[in-house]
Each structure stands twice: as C-alpha cells, then as structure tokens.
Structure 1
C-alpha cells in the first residue's frame, strides 16, 4: 500500500523546498497525489526528495512515482527523460498533469516519454520519473551533466522505495539526455555531441548545457562570457526559460559558430581553456565500470547523437570488464538534422529494450557484445 509522507513545512508551491529536509539521499521531503492529465494506467504521486548536486551538496529534486493499476509485480524502473528544455514549465511532473503545455506564441511542450512509461507500467513495473536538478525546482537545470543527472535518477529510485516501503529489483531507463543519466543510449561525449548537433534542429540545446555548467561550475562563467558574442549571450538568456519546441523554432539549424566571438565552434571554445576542458572530460562516460549490465543503442542514421561516441564508450566499458550489449539500429537516414533518425532509433529499439529488461528482472544472465 502506498503510504504518503507526513506534510512538510507549508509553502505556497509544491516545487519550492522547505527550509529544512531529511538527511539521506532519497529521503522524501514531501509528496502528494498527482492527478494525471495523460492516459497512463497508473496511480501517480508527485514527490520531492533529497539528492546531491555535482559537488555533493544537498538539493531538493522533484519527480513522479507511477504505480501500475494492475498488480505491481515488484520491479521498479527509474526513468530519465530525453531533452525537454530548461524552463520550469518543461518538468515532466508538470506535463503529466496537463498533457500539453502551451503559452503563446511558441512556448509548447508535450511529454513525449509517455510511450515508454505506458509500456513499462503495462508490464507490471512501477516507474519513477525524475525532473532532474533545477527543472521545476529553484536553480538552473544541469542539462547533460551526467553526474548531477545520475544522482537525481538514483535518488528518485531510493525515494520510490522509501515511499512505498518496498524493495525490489531496480533498473534505469533513459534515451538521449536520459541516456546520459542512465548510461544507455547516451550522449557519452559532450564535445562530439556539440559538433554533431550544430546546424541541426537542436542547435539551441547547447544553450541549456552552457547555462548548466555556468551554474554548477563558477569557474566556467568567465570563459563562456569571453567566448560568446552578443547573439550567443542572448541565446543563453532565452534558452534558460524555454522548452525544446520553442528552442528549436528559435535557434534551429543555426551553427554554433554564430554564437562565438571569433566564429569558432562551441567545442573549440570550451576545449581551449583548461577550466572548461576539465569539465568536458568529467562529463565523458566510459572511465568507470558500470556495476550492472548495460544495453546501449545507436545507429548510423542518428542525426543528433554521434554513433561513433556511443560505440567508443561501449568499448571502454568492455575493457573495464563490464557486461555491455550494443544494439545497432539498421535504418536509413531521413532528412538529416531534423532529429528524425534520433527519434526513429528510440522507437525501433524499444521492443528490444523491454525484452532485455524483462530478462534481467527474471534473473537471466545478460548477453554481451564485448569481445
């Protein structure tokens, strides 16, 4: 039975943390029933829980716990969303209540991870969806910061276990941005991703990343301020409050070099300074062995996340002794730069991912493509 936590200190808004909160990562700060505005077979509870930022300081993060309406078979899936944006209105816990967010003229967002949530719930799994650091709650969303995102994702699973008083097998699910948190179909190399995304529909998403590292690493601010021209600085200000649809409409198909003082790429700007180069290095996956089996997904038709970087991470993890299955999508390239290939790969991989997950939950040894 779901047991709601005692009321926290009263505030006027669920997303504003109280002055004090519990002391362990994953402890519940507050929770409440969350009416779903989307067709999911679940009972929803909105949660605020304790997590830690990239430096280990305590932060409050929000999310949603979804319990299947059919009998819960025990497993829990912590799901990290793909790119939604950086504005608080883009938080998945809010979109689950409203189905669609729209404020004229271009502020539009739909919770597109519903297919994955629905599929997992229908298999009898509970699903907890983190809002990530700063998405909904005060502060800047640390977009594509795999350390902060992983903390939020792991602590969401802990919060779900404490709220329900049930401990069972836990898996982590994520694609695109969510893959960076889960370590699956991930933007494993931010520098390579930035180069690939420049000139595509998602060009402006680099603003989310730059805003996030300025907030998390103060030493990066002067480097970025010196490297961006007036257009680039305006881009940071605008994207800080946007969801991805508005960002795509505003900055889609621009080049990153349009935003820099000397026409260099954003990657070149960041790697030129030891301070920001160290941040990029810290955000690159592959140096630490995953403790659990991993399914990674990619394909040559992906027009947003570079396939070669995902393959390289799989090789790195294999060398460290991890159990990794690399699933290659064989699909044609269609309208490159529009993110169609990136989306197609997610849809094409979902049956494989669900089957892989079901076998892990039943204890079947994980396959590997490591050599």
Structure 2
C-alpha cells in the first residue's frame, strides 16, 4: 500500500556487473507537500545484488558549515543511496549521508565510523534527514504546508568534532518516493542501519579503512533502530565490525508504546506506525478496512505525507477513537485481534543477544516511549548474556509527554557521545546487569 505521489516517469537504465546505473538527473523529480524531492532520491528500476552496495552518490552541501584551516567544518558530506533488504526479504534502495570529519581522530587505531539512526522525522519524503542536512529547515507552502527541522545535526556534529566519521540513514521509504516509510519496523530499520555501515565503509576516497570499527547511535525511533541492528548484526551483517551501541529511549515493545502515545502531542506517530504496518504486512489490510472509518482513512492518508512538526500542529492530544467504526482505540483493537497482536509481538526488541557493548539510556519519567518497556528490553538482553550498560535518566515529570521523552535526550546527549567515543577508543565499559536483576 502506498498513499503518496508515485513516480510517473519511466526509468531508463543500463546494467553493469549487476548494478543498475541510472544518473539521478534522468529520473523525474517528485513533490511532497509542495517540497521538490531531488531526482537523486528516485531509485533505479533494478538494484544491486548485495546488501550495502552503493547505488549512487553525489556531493552534499551542508546547510550548517564553516570554513576551517584545513577544510570545511565539520567535514565533507556525500549523499548516498545504497541497497538493503526489507522485512519481506525484498531488495530496497535507502538513502542517507556520509560525513568525512575535518577533525582528526585522536584515539588508537583507524578512524572509526558511527551510524546515526535519526529520531522521528515523519513519513513524508521531504522529512528525510539527509535532505534536512542540506537545507537545515525544509518548508513547503501551498494547500498542504510542511515544516521539517534537521534536529539530529547536534549529535552528528558532536561526533564529527571528536574525529569520528558519521553515516546517517534515512530508513526505508523516507526520501525515496517508491515506498512508504515503514516507521518503527524492527527489521527494516535494523537492516537500513547495518547496510549504511557497509555502504560507508565501501565509499571511495575516505579515511576509513578495513580496520575501522563501527558504533551505532540513536534516540527514540533511532534508539529502536540501533537496538534492532545490534541484535541482527550476528546473522544479517557479521562483516560489520560493530563494537558499541548507544540506544536512547528505544520503542522496544510497540504495544506499550501505542497505548502511551494515543492522546499525546505525538498522536501522529501512531498513524505512521499503522501506515507502515499495512505496507510491510498486506495481510493486515482487511482489518484496517474493517475498523477504519472515513475520518480514520483520511487522517492516515494525510499523515503519510507529514513531518513531525506538521503532525504536532495538526493532531496533538487527539485520540485514535475518532478513526474507528467501533469507537475503540487502536490499542484496544490490537488487544482483540490476534493477527495484530502477533504482528506487534514480532516487532519486539530484546529477544536476541546484541553484538558489542550497548548502553541503554531512558528517562525514568518518559511516558511517551515508556521507561518500563525499555528497561525490560535491557533486562532481557542481560538474561541472554548481553554486555549491557543501563542508564536511567532522572528528570522531573512534567505534564507534556513529549517533553518527558525528549528531555532525557538533551540531558544525556553529551554523555552518550562521550561514552560511545570511549568505546571506539578501546576503553572498557562496566556492564551493570546486576542492577536489572529481578526485572
């Protein structure tokens, strides 16, 4: 299922060694909420055979950059498109950006790489983080307005300032107009993270080498993506030399998160989840047809092109009971429908031992992506023998769930970046699974 504008131009391509070569300028640019999506983001008709293979690249001018003595600060950016695999086993094209730091790496060994998995940006193609890096502020004006801010730039630049190379993924379908973004899909996001590492390590003319270690960084949606990637690395990407992961406020149990966000400022995220579920698992569509009323279908269609700011302004503090024929909330329907319960159970993070040391940080008063479900994920990893550092972040509980969720990000970000840098510099971390005993 897709509820976005489709590509209207036929794709002309030639194949060389199994890789479709399609100059971006031959594709027809599309628009999303009055924002033109560069032709670069339109995938070719045929994708490479191997995951992590680069499909195309181009220089990316950063909106926030400064001249430096030895080069542009914080570094030189390249927009990338690479091959990944979705949760159904099909090939997909994913976009992102690689930034080569101007700062030197002062730790031991080769310069390391961190994959940054963005937090919630939205579901419209104009919301992609790589586009936000180029524009800083993405604004579309017209019958459908939109605003997207590249808020992940602070974490990215903090890593670059320490001499760590960064590659950022846009995730499946965010930016590329061929598919709808499968928001919080565990497998899609984990694969996109790991294949971004592969693509960056294969990018020519960088300071990365085959001895470069890899770290993962993400908060909120990004925290779930990197947590999933750490679990999937052993079977999906054992070639990625993953050393450490920072997973902040991960949505590890989507049933719990669904109940928490309904009626909050971020109700839009519930719509993005439902849209993504329907694309990833077409067998769920009859249930949606049964339960969604006209208002629900209209809302989901509108949300499919919105960024997080748009959704906050339009749907804050509303409830999903207005979307359904029965007057039930989405969470209540999930409890009564085995197919939905089973699908969400399959999205649970915490069932496989993660690779490398992993720091799970979450706010004790986070009632948007609830503290308890993140703590359960960490405890489950400990029982599986994982090397886990659990870091509860204490802040006052406020009336706004969004502030309770993002406050810990602001408080902990500097510590998180420093922690990840130390792990990539071969400094040991002390796991504290004993603090989670009895969970």
C-alpha distance in 2, partners of 1:297/1:264? 33
Match of 2:85 among 28, 52, 58: 52
Find the partner of 1:294 among 340, 358, 383: 358
| 1:76 paired to 2:113 | yes
Distance, in Å, in 2 between the alignment partners of 1:52 and 1:271 is 30
Contact kept in structure 2, 1:303 and 1:340, CA below 8 Å: no
C-alpha separation in 1, matches of 2:384 and 2:308: 36
Q: State whether residues 61 and 134 of structure 2, in contact with CA within 8 Å, keep that contact through their aligned partners in structure 1.
A: yes
| Structure 2 gaps, min length 5 | 1-18, 28-38, 66-72, 228-246, 435-439
Q: 1:30 aligns with which of 56, 73, 81?
A: 56
**Cα contact 2:47–2:91 (8 A) shared by 1:** no
| Runs of 4+ residues deviating >3 angstroms | none
Q: Give 1:7 shift.
A: 9.6
**1:8 maps to which residue?**
21
Hey, what's the Cα distance between the residues in 1 that align with 2:169 and 2:282? 25
Of 200, 204, 211, the match for 2:264 = 200
Aligned 8 A contact 2:155 2:417 in 1: no
3-state DSSP of counterpart to 2:255: helix
CA distance in structure 1 between the partners assigned to 2:390 and 2:156 by the alignment: 23
Partner SS, residue 14 of structure 1: helix
Counterpart in 2 of 1:239?
303
Matching residue of 1:115 = 154
1:132-151 map, 5 Å: 132-137=171-176, 138-151=178-191
Q: 2 CA distance for matches of 1:313 and 1:348?
A: 22
For residue 209 of structure 2, what is the aligned residue in structure 1? 166
Q: Are the aligned partners of 1:256 and 1:265 in contact in 2 as well (CA < 8 Å)?
A: yes
CA drift at 1:335: 2.9
- How far 1:352 sits from its partner (Å)? 2.0
Please, which moves more after superposition, 88-97 or 255-264? 255-264
Supply the distance in 2 between the matched residues of 1:204 and 1:9 (Cα, whole angstroms). 35
- Out of 38, 62, 78, the position equivalent to 2:95 is 62
> Using the alignment, how far apart are the partners of 1:91 and 1:355 within structure 2?
26
- Mapping of residues 313-332 of structure 1, within 5 Å: 313-332=377-396
Q: SS in structure 1 opposite 2:263?
A: coil
Alignment partner, residue 417 of structure 2:
354
| Between 258-267 and 169-178, the greater mean CA deviation after superposition | 258-267
Q: CA deviation at 1:71?
A: 2.6
Structure 1 position 87 matched with structure 2 position 129: no
Taking the aligned partners of 1:7 and 1:191, their CA distance within structure 2 comes to: 40
Highest Rg: 1 or 2? 2
Distance 1:24 1:31 in 2: 17
Aligned mate of 1:219, from 267, 283, 287:
283
What is the aligned counterpart of 2:400 among 336, 344, 347? Answer: 336
**CA distance in 2 between partners of 1:230 and 1:75 (Å):** 50
Q: In the alignment, is the contact (CA less than 8 A) between 2:20 and 2:45 conserved in 1?
A: no
TM-score, scaled relative to structure 1: 0.95
Report if aligned partners of 2:360, 2:391 keep a CA contact under 8 Å in 1. yes
Which residue matches 1:3?
none
- Deviations along 1:89-134, one digit per CA (max 9) or x if unpaired, are 0011111111101123641110100110010000000100001000
Would you say the 8 A contact 2:388–2:432 is kept in 1? yes
The offset of 1:149, in angstroms, is 0.4
1:336 & 1:18 partners in 2: Cα distance?
A: 43
Q: CA offset at residue 9 of structure 1?
A: 1.9
- TM-score using structure 2 length: 0.80
Instruction: Please say if residues 192 and 309 of structure 1, whose CA atoms lie closer than 8 Å, have aligned partners that are also in contact.
Output: yes
Once residues 157 and 7 of structure 1 are traced to their aligned partners in structure 2, the CA distance between those partners, rounded to angstroms, is: 21
Retained in 1: the 8 A contact 2:104–2:162? no
Contact preservation (8 Å) 2:291, 2:324: yes
Q: In structure 2, the residue corresponding to 1:129 is in which secondary structure?
A: strand
Check the 8 A contact 2:52/2:196 in 1, yes or no.
yes
Residues 265, 346 of structure 1: CA spacing in aligned structure 2 closer, same or farther, 3 A cutoff? same
